[in-house]
Amino acid sequence: MAKGHRSQIKKERNIQNKDTRPKAHAKFVRVSDTKARIVLEQIKDKDINTATALLAYSPRYAAEVIGKILKSAVANAENNLGMDTSKLFVEEVIANQGPTMKRIRPKAKGRAYKILKRTSHISIILNER
């Protein structure tokens, strides 16, 4: 078997295994992953209109950021994959921990207090019903 033939089979396998669901990612978002997960769990398995409404009226800062990611995922579904937006729902939500920015605040008696500014990587994957 020639080497070129093997690489052609690998390429075909990768195309077959490729995930065709519409998705959107935001990396290095300045909100902790635990706070983002609270909002993401509210919109999981909801249709797009319900999820957008929930995010619009949520008082949390993470809801604002996740709303933008959701709009991006819907636009990807409509423009790149030609899907009908009325049939879309939030199938999968992921919030992973990103890098933590470490800052120091001076305290009494020459001590230092560590401030951890956490970031997260947020992904939303949609699908059609």
Q: What is the pLDDT of residue 4?
A: 65
In which domain, by residue range, is 28 found? 22-128
On whether residue 17 sits in a domain, the answer given is: no
- Under DSSP, the state recorded for 74 is H
On whether residue 110 sits in a domain, the answer given is: yes
pLDDT tens for 110-128 read 999 999 999 999 999 999 9
Residues 62, 122: Cα–Cα separation, whole Å: 10
Q: pTM for the whole thing?
A: 0.83
pLDDT tens for 33-80 read 999 999 999 999 999 999 999 999 999 999 999 999 999 999 999 999
CATH at residue 91? 3.90.470.10
Overall number of domains in the chain: 1
């290095």: which residue's tokens? 28
Six token digits for residue 15: 């195309």
Residues 101, 98: Cα–Cα separation, whole Å: 10
On whether residue 50 sits in a domain, the answer given is: yes
Confidence of residue 95 (pLDDT cuts 50, 70, 90): very high
Q: 29-44: buried (b, 16+ CB within 10 Å) or exposed (e) per residue? A: bebbbebbbebbebbe
